[in-house]
Chain A
Amino acid sequence: MSELTRLSIDEAADLLKRRQVSAEDLTRAALERIAATEPALHSFITVTAEGAMEEARAADARRARGEHGPLLGIPVAIKDIILTRGTRTTAGSKILSTFVAPYDATVSARLRAAGAVCVGKLNCDEFAMGSSTENSAFGVTRNPWDTERVPGGSSGGSASAIAAAQCLGTLGTDTGGSIRQPAACCGVVGLKPTYGRVSRYGVIAYASSLDQVGPLARTVRGCAAMLGVVAGHDTADSTSVPRPVPDYAAHLDGKVRGLRIAVPREYFVEGVQPEVEAAVRTALHALEGQGANVSEVSLPHTRYAVATYYLVATAEASSNLARYDGVKYGHRAAAAEGLVDMYRKTRAEGFGAEVKRRIMLGTYALSAGYYDAYYLRAQKVRTLIRRDFEAVFAEHDVVLTPTAPTTAFRIGERTSDPLQMYLSDIFTISVNLAGLPAISLPCGFDTRGLPIGLQIIGRPFAEEIVLKAADAYERLTEWHRRTPDAVAQGGA
């Protein structure tokens, strides 16, 4: 494969700055790599080759005028649940298979303004509901480390595209772990920012109080560069927070001396793949070796997180997905008799099984007579989970856990057992319920050669601390430099 596609974002930016490479070169290399690897992987729903080359030329022109910036001319791709004006945006669903976005999401507009080159829209679980990217109406995405396995989900396309060197940075969304878990499965870095740090405007909603957009890249530094561009207050999103965006790169000094790391005992329990636990413990020792202080803590309400999540998330989803009714856009059932029949058939045809399952669960959780017992109770537990973290963060800087209990599983292995699938996110879900920032980065490989993810969780709006700790660890290891063999020969 072309070495250009193996670059990290900051390496590429450096070459662009020194005029050793052009955005056109980078983009052409990415598009060639995509063409070569897509048949085996299917990371993308839509590849925007023409538009990308235009954007690359525009970026080169901006560079020529003396402009610079961390993403100017960098080939990126965007999860197909984030609107990109004039391009089809499907959320991985048949019901939106013909939907062309009439406006840019704020994050898309910010990438555009920064001169990032968008090479396409990435595959995902339908409406971000899933942990394997098997629930896409456009077909399964495969893990570049083993194409018989899932890339994780729901941002599976976003993770596999980085792992397979199809582009240098991607955006995903994370509602219960949908950036971090696929990042772990694919051996890349994925950051879920604090709720409110990044605008959700133009991001197709799954569960509004949990969804957050975040970057995936080959390195921690790459994620920091992406976050720096997309983060910040947006008047179009009332839940986005008016706080200044720090210069994340400036915090990445490799120093963790005195960093107080909490390790919750609830995350090292039965069911965790032994190699995962071993890799995470080794990572802890490595950080300790650099002067970090590690201590065990308890997050006692962790065991209620999955149940709480599936009540809150599905309740919000049942409401958020009501707009897909066939009246205004998207799929409409052809042969319907009257209004109610049109609604029923449109939604029956347009939504996949997992989406229907969650709509039904959420509708039930909100219905009269059950609201107090389910939704309201779940919100109370959510508060307890947040307080668990607040107590730990009173005395610690970060919480360190495995990202997922296991490495990537086989395609089809868990599709018949939704509950088993839901447990894939068991270590990531609490973070969304508490609205915290967290990163996943590679910390080893199991005996099958599959990547293992390390999760670092921070205080609200302390992305710079999370990134700093992750970067310090990354500097100690070479995990992020490994290339998946499965599709390594796809390009070149």
Chain B
Amino acid sequence: MINALRWIVFAIAALAMNFPIIVTLVTSFKSARELSSNAGLWINQPTLANYARVLTQTDRFNIYSYLLNSTIAAVLGTGLAILLCLPAAYAIARSDVGRRVMLPLVINLRAVPLIIFAIPLYMMYQWLGLLDTQIGLGLILTIVNIPLALVMLVNAINDVPLELDEAARIDGASSFQAMVRVITPVIRPALITAFIFGFITAWNEFLFGLMLTTNKAVPMTVGASFFFAASGGGVQWGVASAVMALGALPPALLGLLMYRQISGSMTAGAVKG
């Protein structure tokens, strides 16, 4: 009896939370004609025409370029964040430096509204010629990713037994060699989780994409909104839905594949912060 109630609550919650995603998917398979007569959640004649249009008519809005920009900037931003955080995490976990001041300071960054830094960064980018470049966007996404990457890596290294480093040091390895040759392979699962989680975060970032790109380096989150401002005849909902579905797909797929690891790391980052 109470179990049936649980199923009902689960179904309602899952439906309500995912409602915009469901609607978008359904709409993306509706023809323009059907859309004008049927805004409901069923489709009489499903069609792939919207996807075909998005993927072939790229003269005005090039979805490939948005997808590519998002991918490059997210990979760059996540990779760099991990590269910067790995030695820092090693130092925090294995020496007396950084644990008391550095770590909480960086964790707190997660809570600071990034718009605060956006205006001077915009000017800095203008001077450096980094506006509207994939590298420029990637560098900012690094900032977005650093807090969680650092927490995840510190936690991962803390879980590695000290004996492993000690053995390596006794065998004559420097601390740097111990970090690269011993610790890094052991925490590979954490590195992969940190990378995927960072990739999702970076892919989904909007504010800096909106501010720091205009044309060449526009990421998917910003590019998708262009399809709403399109042509004077109002929004073409089928096409716009197909764009949103394609833009939401990469992080959603990654997240679903990794949801167990991600839920673990997400809570680790939040609760220990």
A and B assemble together: no
Please list the residues of chain A having a beta carbon within 8 angstroms of any beta carbon in chain B: none
